[in-house]
């Protein structure tokens, strides 16, 4: 976890003017690395919350997503290689960060406990852009399905994550079924009985929420920009199917 600790420490150092601030930043970085403060005192909050307080959404994203993925993989037993590969594929881990993220993943997968706080912090950090949270949940579903159908333990875990993210049922269902089902109405998160106008309005909302240009302007992590592009393609494909079906 040293990479993330030093990044967090560096931010803290910049937040405090002068060389004393820089020294404090280094100390805080090592404290996060070791899970506590000098003298054995525990940090009063987890690293994801610290990053959120410092206004670094990229750090919140990296720490929370990695932790959630590891604890999800652990919640139904030993972590498998297929689950690790699914994590790397779903969230497009940059090659230069594989080692550091791997260390965080290994630490987090010791136990499935405590995932709720990480989901909550990620939900708070991206409260102004729920589409990102939906994409994260979709990626977690891909990890859950990597070694077979979603089981009871994974279902409870993912349901709780959706709750902590503040996602409504339509968003949670889209994250779930949009990764495995071909039903275009489930991809759009709308009932088959919806009118043509309701379908069109829903499609426009989703395109606006997931458009890569809009996400980039909000400082969304680059790996999620690519995921948003893929998501837009699925949304448009689903809408095309419905248009052909309804002869719109």
Assess whether 28 and 124 both reside in one domain. Answer: no
Assess whether 32 and 111 both reside in one domain. Answer: no
Q: Which of 123, 203, 196 is nearest to 163 (CA)?
A: 123
**Residues 6 or more apart from 99 whose CB is under 8 A from it?**
3
Q: What is the pLDDT of residues 198-230, one digit of tens each?
A: 999 999 988 887 777 766 666 666 666 767 777
Assess whether 114 and 226 both reside in one domain. Answer: yes
* Number of compact structural domains in the chain: 2
Assess whether 3 and 101 both reside in one domain. Answer: no
Assess whether 18 and 69 both reside in one domain. Answer: no
pLDDT of 221 reads 63
The Cα 39–Cα 209 span in angstroms is: 47
165 and 131 in contact (C-beta within 8 Å)?
no
Going 156 to 49 to 215 to 221, the CA torsion angle's sign is negative
DSSP H/E element including 91:
helix 81-91
The Cα 247–Cα 129 span in angstroms is: 33
pLDDT of 238 reads 84
Residue numbers of the chain with a pLDDT score lower than 70: 1-56, 178-182, 214-224, 226
User: For the whole model, what pTM was predicted?
Assistant: 0.61
The Cα 239–Cα 248 span in angstroms is: 10
The Cα 84–Cα 70 span in angstroms is: 8
235 and 142 in contact (C-beta within 8 Å)?
no
Assess whether 25 and 64 both reside in one domain. Answer: no
Assess whether 34 and 63 both reside in one domain. Answer: no
Assess whether 116 and 204 both reside in one domain. Answer: yes
Assess whether 59 and 79 both reside in one domain. Answer: yes
Assess whether 14 and 107 both reside in one domain. Answer: no
Assess whether 102 and 34 both reside in one domain. Answer: no
pLDDT of 220 reads 63
Q: Please give the residue range of the domain that contains residue 37.
A: 1-44
Tokens 């919806």 locate to 194
Both tokens of 126, joined, read: 């991206």
Assess whether 33 and 73 both reside in one domain. Answer: no
């Amino acid at each position: 976890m040293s990479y993330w600790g030093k990044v967090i420490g560096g931010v803290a150092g910049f937040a405090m003017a002068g060389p004393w601030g820089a020294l404090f930043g280094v100390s805080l970085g090592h404290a996060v690395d070791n899970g506590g403060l000098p003298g054995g005192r525990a940090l009063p909050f987890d690293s994801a919350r610290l990053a959120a307080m410092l206004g670094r959404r990229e750090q919140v994203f990296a720490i929370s997503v990695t932790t959630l993925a590891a604890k999800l993989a652990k919640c139904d037993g030993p972590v498998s290689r297929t689950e690790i590969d699914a994590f790397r594929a779903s969230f497009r881990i940059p090659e230069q960060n594989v080692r550091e993220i791997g260390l965080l993943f290994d630490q987090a997968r010791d136990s499935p406990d405590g995932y709720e706080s990480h989901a909550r912090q990620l939900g708070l950090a991206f409260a102004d852009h729920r589409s990102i949270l939906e994409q994260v949940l979709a990626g977690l579903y891909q990890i859950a399905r990597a070694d077979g159908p979603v089981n009871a333990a994974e279902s409870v875990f993912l349901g709780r994550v959706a709750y902590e993210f503040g996602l409504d049922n339509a968003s949670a269902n889209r994250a779930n079924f949009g990764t495995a089902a071909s039903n275009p109405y489930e991809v759009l998160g709308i009932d088959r009985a919806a009118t043509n106008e309701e379908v069109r309005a829903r499609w426009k909302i989703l395109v606006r929420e997931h458009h890569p240009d809009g996400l980039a302007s909000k400082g969304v992590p680059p790996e999620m920009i690519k995921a948003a592009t893929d998501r837009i393609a699925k949304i448009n494909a689903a809408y095309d199917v419905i248009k052909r079906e309804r002869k719109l």
